[in-house]
Structure 1
Amino acid sequence: MATDSAQGAGAAARAVEIYTDGACKGNPGPGGWGVLLRWGSHEKELCGGEAHTTNNRMELMAVIQALEALTRPAAVVVHVDSRYVQDGVERWMPRWKRNGWQTRERTPVKNQDLWMRLDQALAPHQVRWRWIKGHSGHPQNEHADRLANRGIPKRR
């Protein structure tokens, strides 16, 4: 099941399709992020990771890396399996920004550095969000998951 929502103006008919996922071996632990970008017949894969991180940070990093990879403003559909990311952007971020990046309880927002970076990365684009249930067999989400796992640094 996928849900659909929009940020900013409506997306154009030919949007960049972005599929993202984060992965972590332990939480915290070594983690990775993966991105599949599609525009028409063009496709690009991105992945990377960190030696000590959390799953939420990798979910955020996947979306950030995808948006930062775009070379000009675009209509974008971001497919995520992370309610944390989608709810963060659509429901929580406007209030966090008004409150100086603090929660309702007046404590600093967790992962504030990445939320602020994501806010900047979103700004030039017309973004629609689609939620996909993780590990449900959705081909592009499974592809992003494989990329995220590929990005996890190997222990030496």
Structure 2
Amino acid sequence: MIGAVVEHIIAACDGASKGNPGPAGWGWVIADGRGEPDRWEAGPLGTATNNVAELTALERLLGAVDPGVALEVRMDSQYAMKAVTTWLPGWKRKGWKTAAGKPVANQELVVRIDELLAGRSVEFRYVPAHQVGGDRLNDFADRAASQAALTQQAAGSGAGSAAPPAAPDTVRKSAPARAARSAAAGSGGAAGGASGTRAQSGAPRTLKAKYPGRCRCGRSYAAGEPITKNTDGWGHPDCR
């Protein structure tokens, strides 16, 4: 168990699925006294959906924290948060049936989370995913889950693992600078002109997303964010 000597823990959890369903993983992270990522854990799920990965991440976090310590959980999954805070009481009253009378999806995970929540102080906080200057804990948990989905290997601070690598969204912030350097280096030569022609003729069609979604890399994109078509659907231009 974690957190036996503190009065309040701030944490985040996230799940990732590369294909939905596809190779999936979960991750959670606990903040230190300054609110920075400190202790963390991530693990593989084989082939699973985003929703299963998100719920598993929450279950693993709750199972790792001392139930006697107040906990704040930051999540970017509306589904997972509403499942355990809004819909769960109604599902239980209806014998684990939805309003439409159908069996509740991922019931085993939801039941386990309900058991872990019993008698403890847990505050859920929704944080939008992948925002510039967004929540550092959520970003860390997202990267940990994504790495576990890709590698299908467990990792964490307890195992001495290095922090998960920067995600595509972080790398993409430096793309304009790279493009400017490339243009400056090739502006006067034949190679630079040929490269420019290929880029113009072969550039993928990019448009602004009408609705939020999730890219093949496992990270979400927001409505209005640039996306492009890839072999698995729509996603970040850099992930094409």
- Range into which the TM-score falls when normalised by the shorter chain: 0.7 to 0.9
> Match for 2:9: what amino acid?
V
Whether the 8 Å CA contact 2:28–2:42 is kept in 1: the answer is yes
Alignment of 1:46-85 (within 5 A): 46-85=41-80
1:15 equivalent to 2:1? Answer no
Identity %: 38
| Number of matched pairs | 143
Q: Name which of 23, 30, 35 aligns with 1:30.
A: 23
Matches of 2:86 and 2:114, distance apart in 1: 13
Q: Deviations over 1:63-120 (max 9, x none)?
A: 1100100234221101000110111122100000111111111111000011001111
Unaligned runs of 5+ in 2: 1-5, 153-240
Aligned to 2:149: 152
User: Match for 1:74: what amino acid?
Assistant: V
Q: Select which of 137, 141, 147 maps to 1:140.
A: 137
The one-letter amino acid of 1:51's match is G
Counterpart code for 1:53: A
Indicate the SS of the match to 1:152.
helix
Q: Does 1:107 align with 2:102?
A: yes
Greater RCO (Cα-Cα under 8 Å, separation 6 or more)? 1
Name the residue aligned to 1:126. Answer: 121
Alignment RMSD:
2.0
Displaced runs of 4+ in structure 1, greater than 2 A?
Answer: 38-43
Following the alignment from structure 1 to structure 2, what is the Cα–Cα distance between the partners of residues 83 and 58?
A: 13
Give the gaps of 5 or more residues in structure 1. Answer: 1-12
AA aligned to 1:37 is I
Mapping for residues 82-93 of structure 1, pairs under 5 Å: 82-93=77-88
* Match of residue 96, structure 1, among 91, 106, 115: 91
Q: Which amino acid aligns with 2:138?
A: N
- Closer, same or farther: CA 129–79 of 1 in aligned 2, 3 Å: same
> Could you say which structure has the larger radius of gyration?
2
Q: In structure 1, what is the Cα distance between the partners aligned to 2:72 and 2:103?
A: 29
Looking at secondary structure, tell me which structure has more strand per residue. Answer: 1
The amino acid of 1:142's aligned partner reads D
TM-score by length of structure 2 reads 0.56
Where 2:13 maps in the other structure, the secondary structure is strand
- Which position in structure 2 is the counterpart of 1:7? none
- State whether residues 74 and 124 of structure 1, in contact with CA within 8 Å, keep that contact through their aligned partners in structure 2: no
Give the conservation status (yes or no) of the 8 Å contact 2:73–2:124: yes
